[in-house]
Amino acid sequence: MNQRQHRATILEVAREAGVSKTSVSRYYSGERERLSTAMQERIVAAATALGYQPNPMARGLKGGPSGLIGMLVADIHNPYSVAIMHGVEKACRQAGLSLMLCNSDNDLDQERQQLALLSSYRIEGLVVNAAGRHSDALAQLAASGTPMVLLDRSLKGVDVDEVGLDNATAIDMAIDHLVEQGYTRLLFVSEPPAQASSRQARLERFETQCRARALDAQTLALELKDHQALDAALARHVDHPHPSCAVLCANGQVTLAVARRMKYLGYPLGEIGLMGIDELEWCDLTDPGITTLEQPTDLIGQAAVDCLKQRSSHQATAARRHMFAPTLVPRGSTQRPLATSSLPEISS
């Protein structure tokens, strides 16, 4: 017999738990801190027994709190985006909120369309990893009073809370580690910095610190698909009279691109140092492993959601910046360089 399965209601949960309908509604609308621990446990037990599933969209359509947090990422293929999404989703779940995710593919037109979509669902807050350039749509949303936090990238004209990596500390930690390991010739590789404030901050800090320390250092900014330019830059950097060279990569995608080209060119990791910002799952699988600076993505995600909650409850006034230090994960790719080098010659 094909009977439609009964969907448990909030009223049935309230009766089963022996609490009011309002209490159940508060539990699922992000106000559970107003309920006692015992009452929360009874509501969870009742909802589990009845198979109750909250409907955040229905709450939004009725004009009440939707329980929805929107998140817009610039590049869903980026491992950093995946890690930070997990941190935000985990924080939302703990707060009784649901996360709605959109991807802009680093395209301003897509960013506008996705922001319009998120706004149509009556989101209660928005976490944005922006495409990197000025966005009228984001500025208008911020001006409308929608709680918003910028993730990793800041934007001129959008005066909202920001969370992300402490880029200055990260670069300082990377240079300290490479110098301590004996590398005296450094190359910093980045994607084009104009597209993201975090790239600009890391590149500028590297240049400033290397000048202050009188280090032999160069920078390279390019599209990662340009293998010819990357190979040529690596060949110039890896110079026989200077065996103690190291490459610092601005993010995880750069680390992957450089590691591939170093393997192709036959440059041995460790003798030629390699270090990247962002921890990636494969970094400990390569031989001898790649040294990284791991971002605390769960903490960053939690901070983003906390900012939105405080904005929603009017607990905050001026825009704030919450920047987090990374953790050094040392591996064999930055072992102390050898006194002599037997690097392969690169044919012209």
Predicted confidence at residue 342, as pLDDT, reads: 44
Q: Retrieve residue 333's tokens.
A: 């790719």
Name the percent of the chain lying above pLDDT 70: 87
Residue 303 has pLDDT above 90, yes or no: yes
Q: Retrieve residue 243's tokens.
A: 């065996």
Q: Retrieve residue 57's tokens.
A: 């969209």
Predicted confidence at residue 55, as pLDDT, reads: 61
> What number is the average pLDDT over the span 296-320?
86
Q: What is the DSSP string of 125-169?
A: EEEE---SS--HHHHHHHHTT--EEEES---TT---EEEEE-HHH
16-30, 134-148, 266-280, 290-304: range with lowest mean pLDDT = 134-148
> What number is the average pLDDT over the span 262-291?
91
Residue 339 has pLDDT above 80, yes or no: no
Predicted confidence at residue 241, as pLDDT, reads: 56
Does the global pTM surpass 0.85?
A: no
Predicted confidence at residue 3, as pLDDT, reads: 40
Predicted confidence at residue 309, as pLDDT, reads: 87
Among 47-56, 143-152, 250-259, the range of highest mean pLDDT: 250-259
| Chain centroid offset of residue 222 CA | 21
Cα-based distances in Å from 234 to 201, 246, 334: 23, 10, 16
172-231 pLDDT, tens digit each:
999 999 999 999 899 999 999 887 889 999 999 999 999 999 999 999 999 989 999 999
Question: Over the chain, what is the mean pLDDT?
Answer: 85
Residue 5 has pLDDT above 90, yes or no: no
72-113 pLDDT, tens digit each:
998 888 888 899 999 999 999 988 888 999 998 888 888 888
